Chain A
Amino acid sequence: SAVISQKPSRDICQRGTSLTIQCQVDSQVTMMFWYRQQPGQSLTLIATANQGSEATYESGFVIDKFPISRPNLTFSTLTVSNMSPEDSSIYLCSARTGGITEAFFGQGTRLTVV
């Protein structure tokens, strides 16, 4: 298993600003992901964070809004840019070691945009 630490755990931000969320895994993992859980909704994949290259975004999510970095096999960041109240969600970092394995999750970042 992998232990995933996310920070900040929560934040309240002004609209129009940006927030960067950090994700640290305690061991090297093959894949890292960023999910969003809007109030009352399921977890939705934003993108796969690729080490050393651009992230792979799912439909409906774009790099300009959610830039992602992954400089090595244990760390990734997600930035929520030019925030609006609609971006208020829980953002979750996830990691998988590859193949048919379960994904592990960080504790999430609860973002409120006012």
Chain B
Amino acid sequence: DQQVKQNSPSLSVQEGRISILNCDYTNSMFDYFLWYKKYPAEGPTFLISISSIKDKNEDGRFTVFLNKSAKHLSLHIVPSQPGDSAVYFCAASSVGTGANNLFFGTGTRLTVIP
């Protein structure tokens, strides 16, 4: 049972435009969410996170939005750059329960076209 879902396997965006990557989750106990970026032949690299007490977190060109009622989060990248081309994974955990597990989505491959 996939508790974290990324329904778009791929996304193509023009350089300079906004990239929006979406993620849905089913477990209401999740209270901490993360985005990872993965290049080929490398491990996932942490990008940005958000706690369930917030609805937005911003770090430079990257902003994560959380809609708890809809169990939905999104990652906005603006402006998009060719170097952003990678697979992006959404992950969630239940820190409040003391659980250590991170549940990952299946990833969205972002291609930024120069």
Contacts and interface: CB of A to CB of B under 8 A. Distances in A.
A48 B101 CA distance: 8
B101 A42 contact: no
B43 A4 contact: yes
Interface string B33-44: 010100001111
B21 interface: no
A92 B114 CA distance: 32
B95 interface: yes
Interface in A65-114: 92, 94, 96, 99-100, 102-108
A107 B42 contact: yes
Contact of A43 (B32, B44, B46, B95): B44
Q: What is the size category of the interface that chain B forms with chain A?
A: 20 to 34
B2 to A, nearest CB: 7
Contact of B95 (A6, A42, A100, A107): A100
Interface in A17-37: 31, 33
Contact of B43 (A41, A96, A102, A107): A107
Interface stretch (B68-76, B77-85, B103-111): B103-111
A105 B36 CA distance: 10
B49 interface: yes
B43 A105 contact: yes
B4 A107 contact: no
A67 B74 CA distance: 37
Contact of A92 (B41, B43, B51, B105): B43
Nearest 7 pairs of A and B residues by beta carbon: A105-B43, A102-B46, A43-B104, A42-B104, A42-B106, A107-B43, A105-B44
Interface of B: 2, 4, 32, 34, 36, 41-46, 49, 51, 89, 91, 95, 100-102, 104-107
Interface of A: 4, 6, 9, 31, 33, 40-45, 48, 58, 92, 94, 96, 99-100, 102-108
